[in-house]
Amino acid sequence: MIDGLQRLNAIFSFIKNEFSVKWQDGNFYYFNVSALAGAEQMLADGILTQEENKLELGVCRKFLNYQLPITTTEVSDTEIEDIFIRINSTGRKLSAQDLRQAGAVGLFSDLVRKTACYIRGDITEKDVVSLSKMPSLSLSHRKLNYAINLYDTFWMKNRILTEKNLRLSRDEEIIARLYSYMILGNKVSPSSNSLNKMYDSDSRQNTELNTYIENYGLLEMMDNFSKVYSDFNKIFRSVDSNFSAWLFRGEDAKGRAKVFQALFLALYNLRKSQFDISDFRKIANAIKYIGDKEFKEITNDEEWNIEVRNTAIRRITSIIQPLMTKNIKLAENNEWRLKLETLLSAASGVESQMFDFKLGLTTLQTGQRNRECVSKIVKTLTAMANTKPNEEATVLIGIANDLEHARQFRNYYGANWVQVAECYVTGIDEEIRTYWKSKEEYCNFIKRAIENEPVLSEVSSQILRNFQVITYEDKTLIILTLKSIGKPLAYAEEFYERHGSHNSKVGIGTPEFYGLFQRCSTVNLDSCNLF
C-alpha cells in the first residue's frame, strides 16, 4: 500500500467512538454503533463502546455504505520508487532510511526491521496485523495518542537519539551498522554510502549479508543481538542510571550514538569470545564518563570511519575485558527467548486474544494450592483455539498481569521482577521455594490436574505433550500451548471464544456456534463427536 493507512485508521477509529465529529447543528456527535451488524454482541463483549450524543442511524448507515475509491496497479520496482519520490517531494518527507527500507526485500532488511521493532516495543509475532491494531504499534505524537510512548523507548531513555532522529528511523540505521559489523567484520565501513549498498539488491554487500543470515538463521542473529542488548541494559541498571548520564558529563554531548555503537560492538566481540560479565556494577564503574575521557575524536563530531570506530572498540575492550570471566558454555536452546519477548512486547493489547499470563498457582496469603487456576488455564486455551484455529494458543505461568500484581508479588516474596515492555516477569521460583518441595512437584501438580480436566483426550494430551519449562533472565516460567484439532473444542460440554482477555460462552445451535464450527471444522457437523 503506497498511501492511505492513516485515512483508513481514522475511519475505523471514528466507528469505534474514539473521536466525535462536529455536525450541521454545531454540536459534536459520535458514530452510532447500532448501524453495525452484530453491534449488540460486540458492545456486550466490550469490543465496542458507545458514547452519548449519537449521530442519527440513517447517517451512520450511509457512512458505512460509502464506497472508498482505490487505485490498484501493477508496476515495476523502478516505478514504485518513482511513486515514493513523488510522495516524498510533496507530503511528509521520507527519511533516507525510510526509502532504503521501503524499497528493500530480503533477509537483511527484515532482520533490521524486526530488531528495531523489538527494541522500540512494537514487535509482533507476525508481519501481517490487523489495520485496527495500528495505533498499538505506532509511536506517540502530541496530536496522536498512540500506544508506544516515544519517551519510554530505549533510545530516548538513554538519550542516544533525539525525538527527531528517532522519527527519521536513525535507530534502524544504527542497527543496520551493528549487524553489518557482526556479519561482515571490522572492515565494513560505517558510512552512509556503505549503508546504501547494504540495501541495494545488486550490490556484493547485500548478497553477502543475505547469504549469511540465510545460513545462520534470522532468529539466531536476533538472539545474539538481544543478549548483548540485555548485557548493555544490565550495566546501567546496576548503577540506577542510563547510557548518556553515566558516560557523559554534558547534556549536549555529541557523538553519543557512535559511542553507543562502539560499546555495543565491544560487548558483542567479548561475548563472542566467550567472556561473561559476573559483576555488572564493576563494568559500569570502569566506564563512567568514558565518553568525555576517551572519545574526543568522536564527541568532537569528526569523521566516523572504519579506523575511528575500530579504535574506539579496542579502547573499550581493553577497559572491560579484565573485569570479565572466560566461560566456555554448551550451546543453549534459545528458541523460546525471542518468542517470549515478542509475546510480552505485544501484550499491550495488540494480540492478547491468543495468550494469557498467570502469576502462579498458589494463593499468596494462605499458601493454598489453587486447582481452579489450572481449570481456568485449560478453558482459556480451548477458547483461544476456537477463536483463531490457525494460530497457537499460549498461557504463561510466572508473569504478572499488571504492575499491581507484580508489586503484590514483591511485597510478599521480597523478590523483584524483570520488566519487558508493559509486562512483569516474576517467575515461579519464589513460589516453589516457599510452598512446594521442588519444581518437579509443582509441574506434576499441573500435569495431573490437566489430565483430569473435562476436555477431549486429544486436547489434554496435546497440552501435556507441549508442556515446557524455560528460564528467562534467571526466572523460571511454564509455557502451555494448544492448537486446534479440526473441530470446535468444548470445555465441560460448553463452548467458549476469546474476546479480548475474556472467555465468552457460545450456545449450541446459535448463529455464533455455526460460525464457530465453520471456522474450526475440517469435518462434517453431523458426523463428529464434539465431547
- 364-423 per-position pLDDT tens digit: 777 888 889 999 999 999 999 998 888 889 999 999 988 899 999 999 999 999 888 778
Say how far residue 236 (Cα) sits from the centre of its chain: 22
Say how far residue 197 (Cα) sits from the centre of its chain: 29
Together in a domain, 360 and 505: yes
Closest CA to 207 of 60, 284, 107: 107
Indicate the SS3 state at residue 356: strand
Q: Which of 50, 65, 80 is the last residue of a domain?
A: 65
- Check residue 526 and give its pLDDT: 47
First to last CA, the chain: 45
| 167: in domain | yes
CA-CA distance, 337 to 470, in Å (whole number)? Answer: 9
- Check residue 206 and give its pLDDT: 92
pLDDT (tens digit per residue) in 475-490: 999 999 999 888 889 9
Together in a domain, 280 and 361: no
β-bridge pairing 355-358 and 393-397: parallel
Together in a domain, 142 and 253: yes
Residue 4 CB-density burial (10 A; 0-12 exposed, 13-18 middle, 19+ buried): exposed
CB 359 within 8 A of CB 401: yes
Together in a domain, 381 and 496: yes
Q: Which of 294, 326, 358 is the last residue of a domain?
A: 326
Q: Which of 308, 326, 344 is the last residue of a domain?
A: 326
CA-CA distance, 349 to 136, in Å (whole number)? Answer: 7
What residue type is assigned to position 219 of the chain? L
Together in a domain, 167 and 244: yes
Sign of the torsion formed by the C-alpha atoms of 304, 307, 310 and 316: negative
Half-sphere exposure of 411 (CA within 13 A, CB side): 8
- Check residue 171 and give its pLDDT: 93
- Check residue 158 and give its pLDDT: 94
| 71: in domain | no
Distances (CA, A) of 268 to 181, 272, 295, 414, 491: 10, 6, 19, 33, 49
| 265: in domain | yes
Give residues with Cβ within 8 angstroms of 162, minimum separation 6: none
| 296: in domain | yes
CB 235 within 8 A of CB 280: yes
Together in a domain, 310 and 410: no
DSSP run (H or E) holding 224: helix 218-237
Together in a domain, 243 and 390: no
- Number of domains, the chain: 3
List, in sequence order, the alpha helices (H) in 38-141.
39-44, 57-65, 77-90, 96-102, 107-120
| 77: in domain | no
Could you tell me the residue range of the domain that residue 134 belongs to? Answer: 96-326
- Check residue 524 and give its pLDDT: 46
CA-CA distance, 483 to 504, in Å (whole number)? Answer: 19
Together in a domain, 105 and 169: yes
Together in a domain, 123 and 258: yes
Dihedral angle, C-alpha 172, 177, 183, 188, nearest 10 °: 150
∠ CA 179-108-9 to the nearest 5 degrees? 110
| 80: in domain | no
- Check residue 266 and give its pLDDT: 97
Together in a domain, 442 and 519: yes
Assign residue 509 the CATH number of its domain.
Answer: 3.30.950.30
Residues of the chain with pLDDT under 70: 1-5, 77, 81-82, 84-94, 102-103, 122-149, 296-297, 299-302, 328-336, 346-352, 522-531
Together in a domain, 204 and 302: yes
The three cell numbers locating residue 89? 517531494
Together in a domain, 290 and 319: yes
| 310: in domain | yes
Count other Cβ atoms within 10 Å, centred on residue 3.
Answer: 11
pLDDT (tens digit per residue) in 500-510: 778 889 888 78
- Check residue 523 and give its pLDDT: 44
| 14: in domain | yes
CA-CA distance, 322 to 238, in Å (whole number)? Answer: 19
- Check residue 130 and give its pLDDT: 61
The three cell numbers locating residue 425? 516477569
